[in-house]
């Protein structure tokens, strides 16, 4: 799909396009030529993704003939090696994913994986390799043993497998990798450690490592 069409669909999920002129739609999606907006709107209608009437664009078509686009904010990168990348809450773009892959973006965010310490993880059958996107459910702050989690230690963001070691009263963060990375041991009451979500899916980077974001 053309990037302009993707941005139009993303906008259509938030506002009623019938109230906007071609120029205003273009302004909101970063396209300065109204005729290009008109062209891509027509292409979307031909594909069955939107529906228009003489009054203008009224609704986005849903159902089996349509393909929804879910937008997930990318909040930066997380380390999959030695914990060295600092957490950053600034949205740097959006990952646009078919709703056939992810039903809803509620509570989800994406992080770019950096490093190789999770290249043998099993997240719905997929490993997490450097350059992939980890889709994280921010609502999960009390993970279960063997969940893959995003955690922050002294401001440093990392993705590891979570193990609650009740016998020794500690939390162990494990790497699942082809290389031996030492575990990270955390006291359960450590004030500079917190979980900020569970990894629920991996979006694989395309061949060549091209960015999937805006």
Tell me the CATH number at 45: 1.10.10.10
Q: Could you list the residue range(s) of the whole structural domain that residue 20 is in?
A: 3-60
Mean pLDDT of the region 74-81: 80
pLDDT classification of 64: cutoffs 50, 70, 90: very low
pLDDT score, position 38: 86
Question: Taking residues 189-197, what's their average pLDDT?
Answer: 87
Is there a domain that residue 126 lies in?
yes
Q: Are residues 172 and 105 in the same domain?
A: yes
Within this chain, do residues 162 and 133 fall inside the same structural domain, yes or no?
yes
Q: Which DSSP helix (H) or strand (E) runs through 72?
A: strand 69-79
Q: Is the pLDDT of residue 83 over 80?
A: no
* Averaged pLDDT for residues 50-61: 52
- Per-residue model confidence as pLDDT tens digits over 166-192: 999 999 999 999 988 999 999 988 888
| Helix residue ranges per DSSP H, 16-109 | 22-29, 34-46
Question: Which pLDDT tens digit goes with each residue over 3-36?
Answer: 888 888 777 777 777 778 888 888 888 888 889 8
H/E segment holding residue 10: helix 3-12
Q: Is a pLDDT exceeding 90 seen at residue 121?
A: yes
In this prediction, residue 194 carries a pLDDT of: 87
Confidence check: pLDDT of 120 > 80: yes
pLDDT value of position 106 = 78
CATH number at residue 94: 2.10.109.10
Residue 164 confidence class, pLDDT cut points 50, 70, 90: very high
Look up residue 206 and give its DSSP letter. P
Number of H helices, E strands in the chain: 3, 11
The answer to whether residue 213 sits within a structural domain is: no
pLDDT score at 161: 96
CB 175 within 8 A of CB 160: yes
Whether 126 shows a pLDDT value over 60: the answer reads yes
At residue 176, the pLDDT reads: 94
**Above 70 in pLDDT, residue 67?**
no
Same domain, 37 and 74: no
Q: Which of 40, 60, 80 is the last residue of a domain?
A: 60
Indicate whether 11 and 96 sit together in one domain: no
Cβ burial 127-137 (10 Å sphere, 16+ → b, else e): bbbbbbbbbbb
- 83 in the same domain as 167: yes
The answer to whether residue 200 scores a pLDDT higher than 60 is yes
Judge if 43 and 135 occupy the same domain: no
Residues 100, 65 contacting (CB under 8 angstroms)? no
**In a shared domain, residues 116 and 180:** yes
Mean of pLDDT values over 141-165: 92
The most confident of the ranges 26-35, 57-66, 87-96, 100-109 is 26-35
């Amino acid at each position: 799909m053309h990037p302009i069409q993707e941005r139009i669909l993303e906008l259509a999920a938030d506002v009623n396009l019938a109230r906007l002129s071609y120029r205003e739609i273009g302004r909101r999606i970063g396209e300065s030529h109204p005729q290009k907006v008109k062209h891509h709107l027509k292409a979307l209608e031909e594909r069955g993704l939107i529906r228009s009437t003489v009054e203008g664009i009224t609704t986005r078509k849903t159902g089996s003939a349509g393909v929804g686009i879910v937008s997930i904010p990318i909040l930066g990168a997380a380390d999959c090696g030695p914990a060295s990348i600092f957490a950053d809450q600034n949205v740097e773009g959006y990952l646009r994913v078919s709703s056939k892959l992810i039903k809803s973006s509620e509570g989800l965010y994406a992080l770019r994986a950096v490093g190789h310490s999770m290249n043998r993880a099993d997240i719905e059958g997929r490993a997490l390799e450097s350059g992939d996107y980890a889709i994280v459910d921010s609502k999960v702050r009390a993970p279960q043993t063997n969940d893959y989690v995003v955690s922050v230690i002294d401001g440093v963001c990392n993705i590891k497998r979570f193990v609650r070691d009740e016998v020794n009263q500690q939390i162990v963060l494990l790497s699942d990798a082809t290389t031996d990375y030492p575990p990270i041991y955390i006291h359960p009451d450590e004030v500079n450690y917190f979980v900020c979500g569970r990894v629920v899916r991996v979006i694989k980077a395309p061949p060549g490592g091209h960015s999937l974001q805006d």
